[in-house]
A and B are shown apart, each in its own frame.
Chain A
Amino acid sequence: MPDVGTPILDVPVAEGSRDQHMVLNMGPQHPSTHGVLRLVLEIDGEIVVRLYPEIGYLHTGIEKTCEAKFYQQVVPLTDRVDYLGPMANNLVYSLAVEKLLQLEIPPKAQWMRVLLAEMTRINSHLIWLGTHAMDIGALTVFLYTFREREEILRMFEMISGQRMMTSYIRIGGLALDPPLDFLPRVQAFLKTFPEKIDEYSNLLTGNPIFMNRLKGVGYLSGDDALALAVTGPVMRASGIDFDVRRDMPYSSYEKFQFNVPVSNVGDCWARYECRLQEMRESVKIVQQALDGMPEGPIKADAPKIILPDREQMKTQMEALIHHFKIVTEGFAVPAGEVYQSIESGHGQVGYYVVSDGTAKPWRVHMRYPSFADLQALETMCQGRLLADVVAAIGSIDIVLGEIDR
């Protein structure tokens, strides 16, 4: 078992090696640390001896803020945690509160949620691919992936009015009916997107520099992945075949057919291949969601919890009262505690919501995959070259917003 977090700030250099080892500070402004990650590295020449991630530069106390808000006011906060996958965060929080309330969600809302969660996954993987390749030195791919990401963000803007902080999935359903030309636009995107994945693959998969930088680098065994609470594509690239969408389905994922890409190799290259394959699988799921999109309402039937339509609110007395009550007093949620997991682009996201029976959550805890994955970084990098640290950080697809929360 690796010694995960030995402090190397207080004792800068390992005992008895004072003359050979050097302490190197990397970040928090380093461009390849994806935000404000700071790594303190102890190096022997170019070989990493120990690695200590120093986090907290982006700590905003979102969990504390949640405790002072009504349940429905927490939804916009969740966007800001993993800012590259807003719909997935909205979804997991909504699912957790719906589990507390034991609400039934209509099929159309569930299918729209699946569609949007998969679009978010594609979005998140596109950013990962672009920035990861850029870290390695392949600048071109970044421009290509951001071209497609722009189209996804425009679709998000079309549906929710916001490019990144969507807050579109709400407790009890969705915020609004999707615009009429939204689904045809998704269809048009899906038609061309698989070719685009081939394009990225053509640029990278056969590229000898890219292969040399990733193959055999950042190795993580399956046992270490489980011990270090690593989830998502990083875990699956280490040979552990588990995907929440398939094995503990939520939001009617059990009605969709897709494969879960798994690799036994466990290096950065395996993670690259798994994620590329996941994008292709996401395209399949979005296509199934489009083909079988049910008709019907997009919100559950719970007037005391879900805001009424504007039209109704302005014409019906009862709807106006409900609107006023929900906005000013919130809605009480029965006491209890729930834990809801979903599979986001980075891995398993879990929301632990504790209610004391009032209109404000007593405690909201957010489990995000990057936080756990960061612990595995030392195992991946120990005894390897300093330059491989950059490849390893890129391959675990780190988002500092979800680490520091």
Chain B
Amino acid sequence: MVQTLDPKLTLLDKAAVLEALPEHPGIKALLAWNGDALVDAKLDRGEVTLTIAPNCIREACRVVRDAGYKAFQDMTAVDWLPSTPRFQLSYHICSHQYREVLRLRVMVDESEASVESITPVWAGANYYEREVFDLFGIRFEGHPNLRRIMMPDEWVGHPLRKDYPVEGYR
């Protein structure tokens, strides 16, 4: 079954999305596994965003992988300084079967900037998590090799944070 999501439709709260997409394979699998892990949901510009509780992301990835979202695409962070929680982690997972890219989202605060690594689910998340660690300073528990990837090892600071200047000295 191929999903057709209306690009003009915008649904911003969880209840409306669950009602509008009762057959969405990703949402269905997550609800069947643990309804509490799904904190929020959003449908915007034809893309589904599911907010997952921070301590459930590894299992949630395993659940959506087994539900047909097999191809891990991308993983990155967004710094929402000065709001709290400060960091948003976005996981983009492609389903060849449903021809859709699903976005899983985790919100983490600066004080406990640490999430479970999803490398046990997709080994390919390795470099992406290292990049987020390097450029945002978010730690990934259980990552096999959490080291800086772009910046030199002795670098101080995390360049993609919003309080890091674009040019000049800090």
- Where the two chains meet, the residues of A that have a C-beta atom closer than 8 Å to any C-beta of B are 1-7, 55-56, 59, 61, 63-65, 67-68, 99-100, 102, 226-231, 240, 242, 247-248, 336-339, 341, 348, 350, 352, 354, 362-363, 365, 367, 371-372, 374-375, 404
B69-93: which residues lie under 8 A (CB-CB) from chain A?
70-74, 76, 78-79, 90, 92
Bound together, the chains give a CA A2 to CA B100 distance in angstroms of: 27
List residues of chain B with CB within 8 A of the CB of A363. 76, 78-79
- Please pick, from A4, A227, A367, A374, the residue contacting B144 in the complex, using a CB distance under 8 A: A4
Give bound CA distance, A350 to B94, whole Å. 11
Q: How long is the Cα–Cα vector from A372 to B131 in the complex, in angstroms?
A: 12
Which residues of chain B come closer than 8 Å to A65, judged between CB atoms? 166
Q: With contacts A226-B70, A338-B45, A374-B127 known, is A352 near B90, CB below 8 A? A: yes
15 contacts between A and B (CB under 8 A): A5-B145, A6-B145, A7-B147, A56-B150, A59-B151, A63-B135, A64-B164, A102-B7, A227-B122, A229-B74, A230-B124, A247-B96, A352-B92, A371-B127, A375-B123
Chain A residues within an 8 Å CB radius of B96: 240, 242, 247
Q: Is the CB–CB distance between B144 and A3 below 8 Å? A: yes
Docked-complex contact A227 and B92, CB < 8 angstroms: no
B18 at the interface (CB under 8 A from A): no
Instruction: Choose from B78, B90, B124 the contact partner of A228 (Cβ within 8 Å).
Output: B124
Having A230-B124, A337-B47, A352-B74, one finds 6 other A-B pairs with CB under 8 Å, namely A5-B127, A55-B150, A229-B71, A242-B71, A341-B73, A341-B101
Taken together as a complex, chains A and B put the C-alpha atoms of A48 and B52 apart, in Å, by 40
Contact B145 A7 (CB under 8 A): yes
B170 at the binding interface (Cβ < 8 Å): no
Pairs A-B, 8 closest by C-beta atoms: A229-B124, A367-B74, A228-B124, A59-B150, A365-B76, A5-B145, A56-B150, A242-B96
Contact B144 A6 (CB under 8 A): yes
A65–B159 Cα distance when bound, in Å, is: 11
The answer to whether B160 and A64 have CB atoms under 8 Å apart is yes
Q: Please, which residues of chain B bring their CB within 8 A of the CB of A3?
A: 144
Which partner residue on chain A sits nearest B162 by CB separation? A67
**A352 contacts B8, C-beta separation under 8 Å:** no
Q: Which residues of A contact B44 (CB under 8 A)?
A: 336-337
Which among A6, A229, A337 is the interface contact of B90 at CB below 8 angstroms?
A337
CB-based contact A337/B145 at 8 Å: no
| Proximity bits, B106-129, A CB within 8 Å = 1, else 0 | 000000000000010011111110
Of all chain A residues, which has the CB nearest B155? A56
Query: Which A residues touch B49, using CB under 8 A?
Result: 337
Q: Which residues of A contact B79 (CB under 8 A)?
A: 363
Question: Given A4-B126, A61-B159, does the pair A367, B147 have CB atoms closer than 8 Å?
Answer: no
**What is the chain A residue whose CB lies nearest that of B120?**
A1
Q: In whole angstroms, how far apart are the Cα atoms of A6 and B70 in the complex?
A: 24
* Residues of A with C-beta under 8 A to B124: 4, 227-230, 372, 375
> B residues within 8 A CB of A64?
159-160, 164, 166
Interface residues of B in 39-62 (CB under 8 A from A): 44-47, 49
Given known contacts A55-B149, A56-B149, A227 and B123 CB-to-CB distance under 8 angstroms? yes
Partner of A354, one of B78, B101, B128, B147: B78
When C-beta atoms are compared, the residue in chain B nearest to A242 turns out to be: B96
Residue from the list B45, B74, B122, B145 in contact with A350, Cβ < 8 A: B74
Chain B residues closer than 8 Å to A337, beta-carbon distance: 44, 47, 49, 78, 90, 103
The smallest beta-carbon distance between A307 and chain B, in angstroms, is 24
Q: List the B residue with the shortest CB-CB distance to A351.
A: B74
Per-position contact with A for B125-147: 1 when CB-CB < 8 Å, else 0? 11110100001000000001101
- In the complex, residue of chain A having the shortest beta-carbon distance to the beta carbon of B90: A352
Contacts of B99 in A (CB 8 A): 247-248
Q: What chain A residues lie within 8 Å of B100 (beta carbons)?
A: 248
Closest to A68 in B: B166
For B101, what are the chain A residues with a Cβ–Cβ distance below 8 Å? 248, 339, 341, 350
Whole-angstrom CA separation of A200 from B124 in the bound complex: 34
Given known pairs A65-B166, A228-B123, the reply for A339 and B47 (CB within 8 Å) is yes
Q: Which residue of A lies closest to B119 (CB)?
A: A4
Please determine whether B127 and A404 come into contact, CB atoms closer than 8 angstroms. Answer: no
Write out the residue numbers on chain A whose beta carbons fall within 8 Å of the beta carbon of B159: 61, 64
Residue in A68, A102, A226 whose CB lies within 8 Å of B45? A102
Given the contacts A56-B149, A63-B160, A336-B44, A4 and B78 also touching, CB distance less than 8 Å: no
State how many angstroms separate the Cβ of A381 from the closest Cβ of chain B.
Answer: 16
User: Whole-angstrom distance between the alpha carbons of A362 and B125 in the complex?
Assistant: 23
A352 touches B76 (CB 8 A): yes
Q: Which residue of B lies closest to A241 (CB)?
A: B96
